[in-house]
Structure 1
Amino acid sequence: MGIIMKRLFIDLEVCKKCEKCVIECSYYNHYPENNGITALRERVRYALICKQCEEAPCVEVCPQDALEKQEDGSLKRYNMLCVGCNSCVIACPFGTIYPELIPYLDSVCDYCKKRFKDAYLCIETCPYDAIEYKEVKEDKEKNIILINKNLGVHLKKWKL
């Protein structure tokens, strides 16, 4: 049974209604096209695809040390080091690593920590209410996955 705590929650099934994300972000260190919510969506998309290997052969094979495994198991790409050689793609034992899906943006969502308690510009500006701040626990039967301690997502199950 998962821990129930308040966290940002994105319903990716609702999110699909938008052709282009129009959510605003209060992250103070971003460019208009490189905001926190875009980085969040990248992170979610990648976390759901990467198998987060214990050994991480994609990290080991990178000739430029452009990939680093984070404490939470996710990968971080150092943009200025990546030369696009695709060694990581070849090394992935699951065939799930695609360079265009590794989180690339420099800005990252800080979940408005220490800046706001319950006011989130992303929640207020989402036209389809795809983002909420609420108590969430992982529930695979309901297709709710926890990406990290601050973020949960709902997504449709893949059909094989």
Structure 2
Amino acid sequence: MMRLFVDLEKCSKCKECVVRCSYFYHPQNNGITSLREFATFSLVCRQCQDAPCVNSCYHNALEKQADGILKRHTMLCTSCKSCSIACPFGVIFPEFIPYLDSRCDFCIGKTEELPLCVKSCPYQAVEIKEVEENPEKNIYFVGKSLAVHSRKWLKDDLILKKK
């Protein structure tokens, strides 16, 4: 199955997202922000038991789901950045929580040409390709249509370091 593939390691080197989006009506025409947020919440977030980021949000815009993964409710979020400040591990990046947000639809059904995000990324951090999930190579599936290359934080890593 073809998936949108985002390499977070390449993406984080850029520091300035210049990736364009095929969906004309996205605010600032930038759908990659929501992909990075989704991938980071799924793979990099430490999923704290007491979740200081969730508790710091005055608008209840962050929710810790049953699987431990954070979800940001964009219609409630005012982009105050209190969650970013409260995160003890610094994995909620302020640039991921804009006031006007673009939700990526993965260009499902738009197969006539490559999406603009793939064409415009100067680091080739975004691709559409067949990919297999492979934890040994730090490739993970996030949802049905997204594959991500990133080191996944595991609680076992912390336990091993303490020994």
- TM-score, normalization by structure 1: 0.66
Q: CA RMSD in A?
A: 3.8
Partner of 2:11: 15
Please give the secondary structure, in 2, of the residue aligned with 1:15: helix
Identical residues among aligned pairs (%): 45
Match of 1:37 among 27, 32, 43: 32
What amino acid is the match of 2:27? Y
Residue 151 of structure 1, CA deviation? 0.9
Relative distance call for 1:64 and 1:25 in structure 2 (3 A) is closer
- TM-score, normalization by structure 2: 0.66
- Structure 1: where are the runs of 5+ without partners? none
Q: Distance in 2 between matches of 1:28 and 1:97?
A: 32
Q: Distance in 1 between matches of 2:14 and 2:82?
A: 33
Residue 79 (1) aligns with residue 77 (2): yes
What amino acid is the match of 2:71? L
What amino acid is the match of 1:132? E
How many residues are aligned here? 150
1:95-144 Cα shifts (integer Å, max 9, x gaps) = 55866569534211111123445521111112222211111222111111
What amino acid is the match of 1:10? V
Aligned counterparts, 1:24-63, within 5 A? 24-32=20-28, 35-51=30-46
- Structure 2: where are the runs of 5+ without partners? none
Q: Distance in 1 between matches of 2:93 and 2:149?
A: 22
Q: Going by fraction, where is helix more abundant, 1 or 2? A: 2
Q: Distance in 2 between matches of 1:64 and 1:122?
A: 31
